[in-house]
Structure 1
Amino acid sequence: MTHLPGSNPRLPDDINNSHTSPLADFAFMAAGLLLLIVGLSLAIGWSATWLGPHIPLSWEPQIVIGKTEEKSDHHQKIERYLQNLTTSLASETGKSAIPVTLHYLPDVDLPNAFATSGQNIHVTAGLLNKVSSENALAMILAHEYAHIEYRHPAILMLEQLAHTLLFAMLGLNEDGAGAIAGNTGLATLMSFSRKMEHASDIRALELLLLRYGHTQGAAEFFNAMMLEEDYEETGGVLSLFASHPDTNERLQRIAGYTTDGELTPLPDWLTPATEE
Structure 2
Amino acid sequence: MKSYKENIDFNNLPRHIAVIMDGNGRWAKKKGAMRIFGHKNAIQAVKDVTEGCGELGIKYLTLYAFSTENWSRPKAEIDGLMELLVSTLKQEIKTLMDNQVKLKTIGDTSNLPIDCQKNLAWAIDQTKNNSGLTLVLALSYSGRWEIIKATKAIAAEIEQGKIKASDINESLFENYLQTSGIPDPELLIRTSGELRVSNFLLWQIAYSELYITPTLWPDFRKEHLYEAIWSYQQRERRFGKTSEQLNPVS
TM range (shorter): under 0.3
Higher fraction of strand: 2
Please, what TM-score do these two structures have when normalized by structure 2?
0.25
Structure of higher RCO (CA pairs closer than 8 Å, 6+ residues apart): 2
Please, what TM-score do these two structures have when normalized by structure 1?
0.24
